Amino acid sequence: MRTFLIVLAVLGGLFLVWFVWPATVDPAYWDEPEPPALTGVLEPRGRLADAELITHPLLHSSEDVAIGSDGAIFSGQHDGSIVRLTRDGESWAGETAAQVTDGAAVLGLQWDAQGRLIAAAIDGVYAVDVATGEVTLLSTGATEHPLAFADDLDIGPDGTIYFSEASYRWGAGEGTPQYAYDMAENRPYGLLYSLNPATGEMEVLADGLYFANGVAMSADNRAVFVLETYRYRLSRYWLEGPRAGEFEILAENLPGIPDGLMGDGQGRLYIAMDTQRVPIMRFLHRNPFWTRMITKLPEWVWLRPGETKAFVLVMDEEGNYLDSFHDPDSRFGMLANVVPDDEGNLWLGSLTEGVIGRYELPEN
């Protein structure tokens, strides 16, 4: 009996310490809806099992992928480098094309009209000459608001760079997956920017976004799309026309956790879903008290990755579902980006795996 009372007292003391210990996050309540059923065009048919899997020792992740005019593959890495892969018979040869930063992850890539690879790294936006490895800093944000988590980007026909800052509150620091704390806190710390690369002038187009992530121009270049990862939604900011300056939500309650975004120039948007919707995230968003308590625990307790069920969602520019391509074997881990090319392929990048995928789209 005495032993039982001692154990009970110790457990009670530990609970008291846990209860009064300062919380890392200040969660907001959101009545997250149930996700849509994966039926019809959303049905998991495992078609990404047919994707070619490209590996190389230099690949530790592949947050974004860009295809060169000569067929070379470029991939941003979490160590701040850009890796170039070229076909070498049945395998791929690799080299570091450029060291963009001293360790800030390179998350977004896009070619500009000058043939430079524009890179969104966590701490800024850079222009990279992949032939020489020369890196030019375009912006680290405003003096009063330095960039903390630049993420994805696209480029307009006039050279304007449109990019997202996922979270100015939870910058992607070393060691800790800060995006998890942004998810747990559930507050709108994301922004959508425009950047003039010639002058460095930046403008906030939209703020109050929930982990602003994938960015893509519309087919007619009159608007730019942006994904909000932890609100599972796709929005559009009008650049031209009678609605110029307006921001509208196109699609909510998406069936997965959206990450990267790219259009094919023909009215189709390709969204990389990290995974299908996760019940624990719905619980955390609906229960701020328990979110506050759980995030006090050591990260190895609550930041435990489960099995991923990544997929590509295809939508039109009005937010309608057109198709989906699912990874049945978790070969791509958390799918970070999807890049359609002019040859009918989808190039797939991963947040968690050192792989790149090439999937040949069906003709129909």
Which residue ranges make up each domain of the chain?
44-360
Residue 151 clears pLDDT 60, i.e. is over it: yes
Which tens digit of pLDDT belongs to each residue from 127-142? 999 999 999 999 998 7
pLDDT of residue 177: 59
Q: Is a pLDDT exceeding 90 seen at residue 223?
A: yes
pLDDT of residue 176: 45
- Assign 214 a pLDDT band (cuts: 50, 70, 90): very high
Q: What is the mean predicted confidence (pLDDT) over 20-47?
A: 91
pLDDT for 87 equals 87
35-70 pLDDT, tens digit per residue, is 999 999 999 999 999 999 999 999 998 999 999 999
Q: Give the per-residue pLDDT at 21.
A: 58
* Rounded average pLDDT over 257-277: 97
Confidence of residue 9 (pLDDT cuts 50, 70, 90): low
Neighbours of 148 (CB within 10 A): 19
Residue 179, amino acid: Y
* More confident call, 15 vs 179: 179
Sign (positive or negative) of CA dihedral 87, 217, 157, 110: negative
143 pLDDT above the threshold of 90 = no
Question: For residue 307, what pLDDT is reported?
Answer: 81
Lowest average pLDDT, out of 26-30, 68-72, 139-143, 284-288, goes to 139-143
Q: Express as a percent the part of the chain with pLDDT over 70.
A: 90
Give the residues across from 315 on adjacent strands.
Answer: 269, 321
Q: Tell me how crowded residue 247 is: count the other CB atoms within 10 A of its CB.
A: 17
Looking at residue 294, what is its pLDDT? 87
Domain 44-360: assigned CATH number: 2.120.10.30
CA–CA separation, 118 vs 124, rounded Å?
11
pLDDT at 256 over 60: yes
What is residue 170's predicted lDDT score, i.e. its pLDDT?
Answer: 87
330-360 confidence digits (pLDDT tens): 999 999 999 999 999 999 999 999 999 999 9
When mean pLDDT is compared over 142-151, 271-280, 289-298, the highest value belongs to 271-280
Q: What's the average model confidence in pLDDT over 289-293?
A: 91
Average pLDDT over residues 300-308: 72
Region 273-286: mean pLDDT is 95
Average pLDDT of every residue of the chain: 91
- CB of 190 within 8 A of CB of 254? no
What pLDDT does residue 304 have?
65
Beta strands 150-155; 161-165: pairing state: antiparallel
Cβ contacts of 252 within 8 Å, gap of 6 or more: 231, 232, 233
**What spatial distance separates the first Cα and last Cα of the chain, rounded to whole Å?**
73
- pLDDT of 305 reads 62
**What is the distance between the alpha carbons of residues 106 and 228, in angstroms, rounded to a whole number?**
19
d(CA 294, CA 279): 15
Q: How far apart are CA 282 and CA 264, in angstroms?
A: 32
HEC string of the chain equals CHHHHHHHHHHHHHHHHHHHCCCCCCCCCCCCCCCCCCCHHHCCCCHHHHCEEEECCCCCCCCCEEECCCCCEEEECCCCEEEEEEEECCEEEEEEEEECCCCCCEEEEEECCCCCEEEEECCEEEEEECCCCEEEEEECEECCEECCCEEEEEECCCCCEEEEECCCCCCCCCCCCHHHHHHHHCCCCEEEEEECCCCCCEEEEEEEECCEEEEEECCCCCEEEEEEHHHCEEEEEECCCCCCCCEEEEECCCCEEEEEEEECCCCEEEEEEEEECCHHHHHHHHCHHHHHHHCCCCHHHHCCCCCCCCEEEEEECCCCEEEEEECCCCCCCCEEEEEECCCCEEEEEECCCCEEEEEECCCC
Q: Find tokens 């977004």 and name the residue.
A: 108
Q: Categorize the per-residue pLDDT at 3 as very low, low, confident or very high, splitting at 50, 70 and 90.
A: low
Q: Of 34 and 179, which is predicted with more confidence?
A: 34
Residue 142's pLDDT is what? 74
8 A C-beta contact, residue 310 and residue 321:
no
Radius of gyration of the chain (CA): 21
